[in-house]
Amino acid sequence: MRELPDCLYCRKDQRLHDLMIEIAPLGAATLFLFREQTHPGRCVVAYRGHVNELFELSAGERALFMEDVARAARAIQTATGARKINYGAYSDKLAHLHFHLVPKYEGGPAWGSTFEMMPAQKRLLDAAGYAAQIAAIRAAL
């Protein structure tokens, strides 16, 4: 049996749970709600296998993953009424293919510029707030 890489997405350990909450499995990925909610509805779509780059996927795997990204973005926009969804795929420090889906609101934080990955002033929700956000996104999937 092959050992899992030391990756929070693969191990699904406390590091993952400290940062995000699982919303739903998708075709090739898993959708998570990011706990930091400066941008209400901010999520992550993480590829289910351990790869770091889009080009590491076959054409079919890449198409399925990008369909998951598009499906999640549509659901987030429907659930939140965001004016725009920003997409971030960095993984400089966490070598696992994932996209941050960041709803943007005209007049809101970072409108017209790049969102801050980990803002100094974090906006966290209570349990009911996270549950409501997750339920709205799941209903729109």
What is the CATH classification number for the domain harbouring 104?
3.30.428.10
Q: Is residue 84 part of a domain?
A: yes
CB 8 within 8 A of CB 16: yes
Helix, strand, coil tally for the chain in percent (to 5)? 35, 20, 45
Q: How much is the pLDDT for 1?
A: 47
Query: Model pTM?
Result: 0.94
Q: Length of the chain, please?
A: 141
For residue 31, is it within any domain?
yes
The amino acid occupying position 24 is A
Kindly state whether residue 45 falls inside one of the protein's structural domains: yes
pLDDT in the model for residue 116: 85
Rounded distance, CA 119 to CA 30, Å? Answer: 24
Indicate whether 19 belongs to any domain. Answer: yes
Is position 77 within any domain? Answer: yes
Q: What is the pLDDT of residues 107-135, one digit of tens each?
A: 999 999 888 888 888 999 999 999 999 99
Half-sphere exposure of residue 60: CA atoms within 13 angstroms, side-chain side = 0
The tens digit of pLDDT for each residue in 50-96 reads 999 999 999 999 999 999 999 999 999 999 999 999 999 988 888 99
Handedness of CA 54, 56, 58, 59 (dihedral sign): positive
Q: Residue 97 belongs to what domain range?
A: 9-140
Q: Is residue 1 part of a domain?
A: no
Of residues 39 and 90, more confidence is placed in: 39
Cα 135 from Cα 138, distance rounded (Å): 5
Task: For residue 100, give the H/E element and its range.
Answer: strand 98-104
Section 37-57 average pLDDT: 97
Task: Count up the domains in the chain and report the number.
Answer: 1
73 falls within a domain: yes
Residue 2 has pLDDT above 70, yes or no: no
Query: Does residue 3 lie within any of the structural domains?
Result: no
The pLDDT of residue 106 is 95
